[in-house]
């Protein structure tokens, strides 16, 4: 039978959004691959009572496994290990051997960075980080903080709590050791697979999809279907056990029948679709961006292996840069304005020519909050993609913040690339 788990993300910096949490989703996905379904991720600040409440809540939902992240640093506001130990009925004490190992890491770190090493001032912090609940398994530090696997004290019931550090690199580096620890390995034995499939559409409203799902309702047993609309893209994610594979196949048939012309992927995301189309046809691409300032090039280059298709891009913020680096004629800017279909086309052509790429992309727009006019308000964006034998253009009026306008412009450029390369639903 599949099992469930809960996740606690600690840290006032996460709660207040100064740091975006990458750990909760990462852990939820890793657990899902193991057949473990996460029902709740609770984000708490650095108050011990709040953490205790969160642990009690998750234990109360009956999950056999809770994973915590963060709160393992040397400062007094980092309290996770101590609170989890107390919650599980296992008082903490300093592990002298561990203390020695952490001290060595801290010394090495400071020396590496050329920072003034003052072992005395760091000793108390190291000692704090070396405190281990009685009977807990220690996961060796990847940075300075050890992880812990803390089962309930003998005679108590409740979840096994895995305590991991907050820095994503440290957490991920410790994950396999956490899974191998006795109490966790025992939980995961014989858990069946939990499959996940994704269908992506462009040009169908969530309300239309809802009608399709209602009509197919009696054939969807065993499927957990969630839909999400963002920036015009409708994503349908379905989770199911191996027994429900036929039901999923039936769902896919129903979706294809009703919405086949808007489906652009039954798996890979937009970025993978575009990258696959470029590499599959052996084409190269170059970008010329004004309002998005390099974000499209940044997104294209985010994929490992992107050097196979991405030659580069120019963020041409100043008009002089559009002229000097991308050969946009001064007269075109003067006549139509920097934010115009004509300049978007000239940018795409310029990128293609200057980089010697097969495909060029041009983006120009008013990201705001300033710079809008009655004629070209904030959110006006012109896009153009040009390939060996086709050219596509779009004019957009986007709503939202500067960040939203920039992000959506980049997504629309990716859809234009997709349409140019593969056809499918028009961007």
Site for a copy of itself in 305-324 (CB under 8 A): 305-307, 310-318, 320-321, 324
Distance in angstroms between the alpha carbons of the first and the last residue of the chain: 43
Between CA 396 and CA 295 the distance in angstroms is 18
Stretch 318-357 residues interacting with a copy of itself (CB under 8 A)? 318, 320-321, 324-325, 354-356
Cα dihedral 107, 111, 114, 119 sign? positive
Query: Among 44, 161, 171, 361, which residue sits at the site for a copy of itself (rule: CB under 8 A)?
Result: 44
Please give the size of the binding site for a copy of itself, defined by CB under 8 A: 122
Stretch that binds a copy of itself, among 175-183, 186-194, 362-370, 382-390 (CB under 8 A): 362-370
Provide φ and ψ at 280, rounded to 5°: -60, -35
Stretch that binds a copy of itself, among 75-83, 178-186, 272-280, 411-419 (CB under 8 A): 75-83
Between CA 423 and CA 261 the distance in angstroms is 10
Closest to 8 (Cα-Cα) out of 43, 46, 49: 43
Stretch that binds a copy of itself, among 231-239, 242-250, 273-281, 383-391 (CB under 8 A): 231-239
Q: Among all chains, which residue has been given the structure tokens 């991720």? A: 41
Stretch that binds a copy of itself, among 24-32, 132-140, 247-255, 270-278 (CB under 8 A): 24-32
How crowded is residue 177: how many other Cβ atoms within 10 Å of its Cβ?
A: 17
Nearest distance in Å: CB 62, a copy of itself: 10
Instruction: Report if residue 399 touches a copy of itself, rule: CB under 8 A.
Output: yes
Stretch that binds a copy of itself, among 157-165, 225-233, 249-257, 381-389 (CB under 8 A): 225-233
Stretch that binds a copy of itself, among 111-119, 175-183, 340-348, 385-393 (CB under 8 A): 111-119
Q: Among all chains, which residue has been given the structure tokens 């200057």? A: 354
* β-pairing verdict for 233-240 and 195-202: antiparallel
Between CA 373 and CA 366 the distance in angstroms is 9
Query: Among 186, 211, 272, 390, which residue sits at the site for a copy of itself (rule: CB under 8 A)?
Result: 211
Nearest distance in Å: CB 12, a copy of itself: 4
Stretch 238-277 residues interacting with a copy of itself (CB under 8 A)? none
Q: Which is nearer to a copy of itself, 75 or 373 (CB)?
A: 75
Nearest distance in Å: CB 154, a copy of itself: 28
Q: Which is nearer to a copy of itself, 239 or 382 (CB)?
A: 239
Q: Which is nearer to a copy of itself, 18 or 190 (CB)?
A: 18
Instruction: Report if residue 423 touches a copy of itself, rule: CB under 8 A.
Output: no
Query: Among 250, 294, 337, 372, which residue sits at the site for a copy of itself (rule: CB under 8 A)?
Result: 294
Stretch 46-65 residues interacting with a copy of itself (CB under 8 A)? 46-47, 50, 53-54, 57, 60-61
Nearest distance in Å: CB 224, a copy of itself: 8
Between CA 62 and CA 58 the distance in angstroms is 7
Q: Among all chains, which residue has been given the structure tokens 């190269």? A: 284
Nearest distance in Å: CB 268, a copy of itself: 13
Instruction: Report if residue 111 touches a copy of itself, rule: CB under 8 A.
Output: no
Q: Among all chains, which residue has been given the structure tokens 């961007």? A: 427
Is 329:366 a contact under the CB 8 Å cutoff?
no
Q: Which is nearer to a copy of itself, 89 or 371 (CB)?
A: 371
Binding mask 156-195 for a copy of itself (x = CB under 8 A): -----------xxx--------------------------
Is 318:290 a contact under the CB 8 Å cutoff?
no
Query: Among 34, 229, 254, 341, which residue sits at the site for a copy of itself (rule: CB under 8 A)?
Result: 229
Q: Which is nearer to a copy of itself, 177 or 321 (CB)?
A: 321
Between CA 392 and CA 422 the distance in angstroms is 13
Q: What angle do CA 237, 241, 242 make, to 5 degrees?
A: 115
- DSSP states along 57-108: HHHHTT-SEEEEES--SSSTT--HHHHHHHHTT--EEE-HHHHHHHHHHHHH
Nearest distance in Å: CB 42, a copy of itself: 5
Cα dihedral 369, 374, 379, 381 sign? negative
Helix (H, G, I), strand (E, B) or coil at 215: helix
Between CA 16 and CA 21 the distance in angstroms is 11
16 secondary structure, DSSP code: T
Query: Among 74, 183, 360, 362, which residue sits at the site for a copy of itself (rule: CB under 8 A)?
Result: 74
Measured N-to-C along each axis, helices 319-326 and 341-355 cross at an angle, to the nearest 10 degrees, of 40
Is 13:19 a contact under the CB 8 Å cutoff?
yes
């Amino acid at each position: 039978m599949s099992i469930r788990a809960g996740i606690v993300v600690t840290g006032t910096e996460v709660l207040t959004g100064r740091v975006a949490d990458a750990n909760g989703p990462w852990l939820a996905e890793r657990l899902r691959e193991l057949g473990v379904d996460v029902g709740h991720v609770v984000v708490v600040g650095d108050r011990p009572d709040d953490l205790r409440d969160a642990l009690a809540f998750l234990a109360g939902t009956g999950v056999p496994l809770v994973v915590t992240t963060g709160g393992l640093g040397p400062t007094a506001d980092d309290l996770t290990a101590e609170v989890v130990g107390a919650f599980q009925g296992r008082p903490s004490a300093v592990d002298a051997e561990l203390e020695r190992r952490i001290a060595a890491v801290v010394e090495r770190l400071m020396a590496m960075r050329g920072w003034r090493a003052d072992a005395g001032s760091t000793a108390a912090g190291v000692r704090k980080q070396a405190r281990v609940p009685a009977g807990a398994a220690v996961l060796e530090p990847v940075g300075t903080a050890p992880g812990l696997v803390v089962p309930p004290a003998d005679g108590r019931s409740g979840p096994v709590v895995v305590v991991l550090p907050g820095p994503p690199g440290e957490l991920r580096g410790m994950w396999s050791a956490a899974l191998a620890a006795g109490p966790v390995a025992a939980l995961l034995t014989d858990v069946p697979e939990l499959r996940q499939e994704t269908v992506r559409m462009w040009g169908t409203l969530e309300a239309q999809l809802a009608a399709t799902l209602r009509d197919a309702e009696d054939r969807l047993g065993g499927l957990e279907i969630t839909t999400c609309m963002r920036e015009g893209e409708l994503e349908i994610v379905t989770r199911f056990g191996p027994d429900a594979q036929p039901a999923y196949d039936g769902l896919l048939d129903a979706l294809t029948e009703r919405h086949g012309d808007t489906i652009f992927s039954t798996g890979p995301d937009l970025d993978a679709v575009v990258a696959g189309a470029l590499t599959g046809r052996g084409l190269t691409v170059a970008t010329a961006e004004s309002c998005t300032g390099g974000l499209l090039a940044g997104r294209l280059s985010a994929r490992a292996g992107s050097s196979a298709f991405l030659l580069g891009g120019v963020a041409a913020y100043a008009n002089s840069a559009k002229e000097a680096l991308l050969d946009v004629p001064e007269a075109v800017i003067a006549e139509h304005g920097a934010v115009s279909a004509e300049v978007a086309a000239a940018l795409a052509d310029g990128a293609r020519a200057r980089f010697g790429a097969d495909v060029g992309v041009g983006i120009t727009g008013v990201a705001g909050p300033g710079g809008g006019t009655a004629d070209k308000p904030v959110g006006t964006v012109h896009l153009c993609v040009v390939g060996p034998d086709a050219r596509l253009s779009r004019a957009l009026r986007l709503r939202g913040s500067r960040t939203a306008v920039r992000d959506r412009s980049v997504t629309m450029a990716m859809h234009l690339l997709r349409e140019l390369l593969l056809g499918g639903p028009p961007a």
